[in-house]
Amino acid sequence: MSPKKNDTQKPGTKHSFMKLLPEQFKRLLDCIADGMFSVDLSWRITSFNRAAEEITGISKDDALGHRCCEVFKANICERDCALKQTMATNRPVINKKIYIVNKRGERIPVTISTAILYDADGNVIGGVETFRDLSQMEALKKELHRQYSFRDIISRNPQMMELFEILPEIAQSDVTILVSGESGTGKELVARAIHDLSLRRNHPFIAVNCGAIPETLMESELFGYRKGAFTGAQHHKPGRFKLADKGTLFLDEISELSLTLQVKLLRAIETKKYEPLGAVSQETADVRIVTATNKNLEQLVNDGGFREDLYYRVNVISIELPPLRDRLEDIPLLVDFFIQKFNSLQHKSIEGISDDALSLLMRYDYPGNVRELQNFVERAFVLCRGDTLEKKYFPEKLHALDEKEEMLQEGSLSDVEAAAIKAALRRHGGRKQDAARELGIHRTTLYRKMKFHGIDVEKE
């Protein structure tokens, strides 16, 4: 017999709470903002109001007659059921904070209160639980405390917020992690956050940029060498593996490692043993590896530029950071963060950024990602003489974008042409030869068009 059949049995009519309620009272329950359900003595749901439907995502028809734990899906159902506690002790539970998992798999923070239900003769016929959705309140709290940062990573982008949620869990384990994302998206910050949240936080975090060290030196950098290993090796030198012992080794741009070194790295990760150059015995290092790349490693594996076995070894958990152009909503937060940072570093007291300047920054697509934005703000900081970062302090390429947009708003083809000529002349300080080259027209054509549109270099 399938247990499902038992599940779908409707509650016994004798103790059905619904039957005891007048229709008006049921309607009243549907009007309240708090979720409410009642159960009979076999923990099957006998009433389920409209707010309960909204909060759990489960309809009343689906809920009635089923076990409350399989409908409500709270973290306390199994070990610490509040209704059970109330039934056992005859005391209500008031405003206990728990979470439930809704239909979309979201953890919804709620507070619950419980009470016992009696019939007219005073017999216990079940229990009632009310619950209040706290998710909006939690979101507001986050807004108030500006909890859009995680360690030094700042974002309000949903994908990044999801990463913030999952990062502490990932950090607790010792698995190898591959962080991928375009240059400047903050891969090292993520690696540092993982280290800071891990049990290895009191041991070293060693970062190595595999693309910045010549191939010939990479092996000695990673594994170290013994005195006399090669000409000039006058004493022992510990490698990065040794330095990161009991801590975390961050290998940035791992795709730049040579195939020969990839074999040695794989061996070191798998066996936790390595051989320094010139050594006769192996050394051990207890190191957690975090790697990063701005390339598509899977593609590199297919092209033969990266070993497949090493790829699977480093890609146990993969974290992908979105580029800044896909999370433009972060720009105001990031600008604010950089202003505070540079105020403190450069002993200035810039108060903020003008609306014009911010809108200029929002229109750019940031091939260099957050690092490029940081450079823009730093540049503006150096040039700024007032207390607000104005549009004029930001680089010319951002203004070019602005001008293009202005041109598009001008309307007619003739207007667009005139605006393009004016902008080019402005960019080149009135030098017609350079402006004509940029516009892709001959100098004499430029003269002709300037005359036609009545453009005066002196005025421009």
Partner 1 sequence: MRIGLPVWEKRISPVFDSASTMWIACSGSGNDYHWETHDLPEGPMIYRIQKLLQLNIDVLICGAVSRCCLQLLNGYGFQVVNWVCGDADEVVKAFLAGHSLQETHAMPGMRNWGRGFRHRKGRCWQKGRRKQ
Q: Which residues bind partner 1 (CB under 8 A)?
A: 2-4, 7, 56-59, 62-63, 66-67, 69-79, 101, 103-107, 162, 165-166, 168-170, 172-173, 175, 178, 298, 309, 312-313, 315-320
Return the number of the residue (157 or 220) whose C-beta is nearest partner 1. 157
Residues in the chain, overall count: 460
Least gap, CB of 70 to partner 1 (angstroms): 5
CB of 33 vs partner 1, minimal distance in Å: 21
Q: How far apart are CA 363 and CA 374, in angstroms?
A: 16
- Provide the H-helix boundaries in 152-214: 158-172, 187-197
* In the complex, minimum distance from the CB of residue 69 to partner 1, in angstroms, rounded to a whole number: 4
By beta-carbon proximity to partner 1, the closer residue of 8 and 89 is 8
CB burial readout 307-342, b (16+ within 10 A) else e:
beebbebbbebebebbbbeebeebbebbbbbbbeeb
- In whole angstroms, the minimum distance from the beta carbon of 367 to partner 1 comes to 21
User: 243 vs 317, which CB is nearer to partner 1?
Assistant: 317
Choose between 112 and 213: whose C-beta lies nearer to partner 1. 112
> What does the DSSP assignment read for 88-116?
HHS----SEEEEEE-TTS-EEEEEEEEEE
For the CB of residue 254, give the shortest distance to partner 1 in the complex, in Å: 14
Q: What is the Cα–Cα distance from 383 to 381, expressed in whole angstroms?
A: 5
Helix or strand holding residue 436 (H, E): helix 432-439
Minimum distance from CB of 94 to partner 1 (Å)? 22
Task: For residues 344 and 338, give the distance between their C-alpha atoms in angstroms, rounded to a whole number.
Answer: 10
Q: Tokens 């008031």 sit at which residue?
A: 94
Q: Which CB atom, from 4 or from 235, has the smaller least distance to partner 1?
A: 4
Nearer to partner 1, 77 or 370 (CB): 77
User: In the complex, what is the shortest distance from the CB of residue 425 to partner 1, in angstroms, rounded to a whole number?
Assistant: 47
Q: How far apart are CA 460 and CA 455, in angstroms?
A: 8
Helices and strands, number each (H, E), in the chain: 22, 18
**Which residue, 320 or 415, is less far from partner 1 as judged by CB?**
320
| Minimum CB distance to partner 1, residue 64 (Å) | 9
Distance from CA of residue 380 to its chain's centroid? 27
Residue (69 or 401) nearer to partner 1, CB: 69
Distance set, CA 150 to CA 24, 92, 142, 156, 373 (Å) = 49, 38, 12, 10, 19
d(Cα 360, Cα 345) in Å, to the nearest integer?
25
